[in-house]
Amino acid sequence: MLSNIIYEAEEQKAIQIIGFKKVLKKYFLSKAKKVRNMNNITYRILSFIFYSCIFYNEKIKNINFNYLSNFYYEDSKEDCSILKILIDSWNILSEELFKRDIDNIQIFINMIIPDISKLIIENSNAMTESEVRNNFEELCNQIIERAINNYTNYYPVYINNNKEILQINDDTIKSILQETTNFNNLSKDDYPLIQYFYAASYPSYEGFYKEFYSLQDNLKYPVLANYLKSTQENSEKIKLLQNFHLINPLITYSLEKYSNKISRKEAKEIIIKNELENDKYMKKLFINFKKGWKNIYQKLSNYDCSGKLPEMFIEENKCLSYILNDYHENNYGKYISTVYKDFITYQNEIYYFKISRK
């Protein structure tokens, strides 16, 4: 019985649809999904090119606003846009390339675009047959893999060529003003005070990550090592934790303001919008809260055995009880209880090794 179900599922997966097919956002962003015989980087590159074309046509008004929704996520809300999908694609592509030791996505794109664009332009097939599509995607795979393998050699050549094209030298006024100069190469005699006139250069996350793990004694810094490890293995949990500073100020302020002053029943009868009109400070906190809540409300875990709460975007027209912590009753304040449970759980997971030693 199970084997029959698996067989039918595989048959359904093998069915290819001509044209564009809308998918759920969660599926599109999944790094585990397999798209035919393409590697994940090839799939992300081709997706990015596709949505870039849609975005360009949107800007030159070749596509009207109503028709654009055909290219949104299947479960998209009213705040979706082609640009947001492009940003999602870019972020995932950056993460996937970083796993292959490529930390500059712009340079990598410059490497592959000539060959990819030539392949697309010279393609005369209608792409209606699966074999033709598979051949095209395999050629794209080869271009991507070749570029990944040659990236280390290409990087310095690209930088030098770029400087020559722009006629940028370290000791020109233009390069100094544009801060493209390597200030360490400037003569201290000619520029004795130059260090006071440029911003300090801090390493990127990717640069710091590489530098840190190149140290032989990096385990001497267990908290930092475990945090960096978690950013790679538990990136979704880290992203959720990053919203704590947006959410917590409103919740603590609301608890102090309303605790022991109104009942749960009264809180359900008060609209958040009305409270914000009379409290400018709370209104400011709520703006940040919405930014954070928007990032996480679809990713909350189960609070208890009662099951997963339905997705709820908390906004001004909701009742006050939604922002007052309460784990006794489903819905309402249980959303806040759930997100705090997740905050605490994920933070403890990151530092569990330290706690367990004590």
Task: Kindly report, residue by residue over 127-153, the tens digit of the pLDDT.
Answer: 777 788 888 889 999 999 999 988 888
pLDDT above 70: residue 213: yes
Q: Which residues contact 115 (CB under 8 A, 6 or more apart)?
A: 143, 147
Residue that wins the pLDDT comparison between 14 and 279: 279
Angle subtended by helix axes 205-213 and 222-233, to nearest 10: 120
Report whether 272 contacts 322 (CB < 8 A): yes
Domain range annotation of the chain: 2-166, 235-357
Residue that wins the pLDDT comparison between 313 and 15: 313
pLDDT above 60: residue 154: yes
Report whether 39 contacts 139 (CB < 8 A): no
Name beta bridge partners: 319: 271
Tell me the pLDDT band of 17, cut-offs 50, 70 and 90: low
Task: Kindly report, residue by residue over 57-73, the tens digit of the pLDDT.
Answer: 988 888 887 788 888 88
Tell me the pLDDT band of 274, cut-offs 50, 70 and 90: very high
Class of residue 305 by CB neighbours under 10 A (exposed 0-12, middle 13-18, buried 19+)? exposed
**How much is the pLDDT for 15?**
61
Q: In angstroms, rounded to a whole number, what is the distance separating the alpha carbons of residues 208 and 64?
A: 44
Tell me the pLDDT band of 280, cut-offs 50, 70 and 90: very high
Report whether 348 contacts 220 (CB < 8 A): no
Tell me the pLDDT band of 167, cut-offs 50, 70 and 90: low
Task: Kindly report, residue by residue over 295-327, the tens digit of the pLDDT.
Answer: 999 888 876 666 778 888 999 999 999 999 887
> Residue 152 CA to chain centroid, in angstroms?
25
Q: In angstroms, rounded to a whole number, what is the distance separating the alpha carbons of residues 273 and 283?
A: 9
∠ CA(264), CA(269), CA(272), 5° rounding? Answer: 100
The conformation of residue 201, written as its DSSP 8-state character, comes to P
Decide: helix, strand or coil at residue 271. Answer: strand
Tell me the pLDDT band of 14, cut-offs 50, 70 and 90: low
Report whether 326 contacts 332 (CB < 8 A): yes
Report whether 355 contacts 317 (CB < 8 A): no
**How much is the pLDDT for 36?**
79
Class of residue 223 by CB neighbours under 10 A (exposed 0-12, middle 13-18, buried 19+)? exposed
250-268 b/e (C-beta count within 10 Å ≥ 16 → b): bbebbeeebeeebeeeebb
| Average pLDDT for the chain | 83
Is the Cα torsion angle 153, 159, 165, 168 positive or negative in sign? negative
Please give the model's pTM, rounded to 2 decimal places.
0.47
**How much is the pLDDT for 310?**
86
Q: In angstroms, rounded to a whole number, what is the distance separating the alpha carbons of residues 83 and 27?
A: 18
Task: Kindly report, residue by residue over 248-257, the tens digit of the pLDDT.
Answer: 999 999 999 9
> Residue 300 CA to chain centroid, in angstroms?
17
Q: Which residues contact 133 (CB under 8 A, 6 or more apart)?
A: 16, 36, 127
pLDDT above 90: residue 294: yes
Report the pLDDT averaged over residues 263-275.
Answer: 92
Q: Which residues contact 85 (CB under 8 A, 6 or more apart)?
A: 28, 51, 71, 72, 73
% pLDDT > 90, the chain: 28
Report the pLDDT averaged over residues 2-25.
Answer: 66
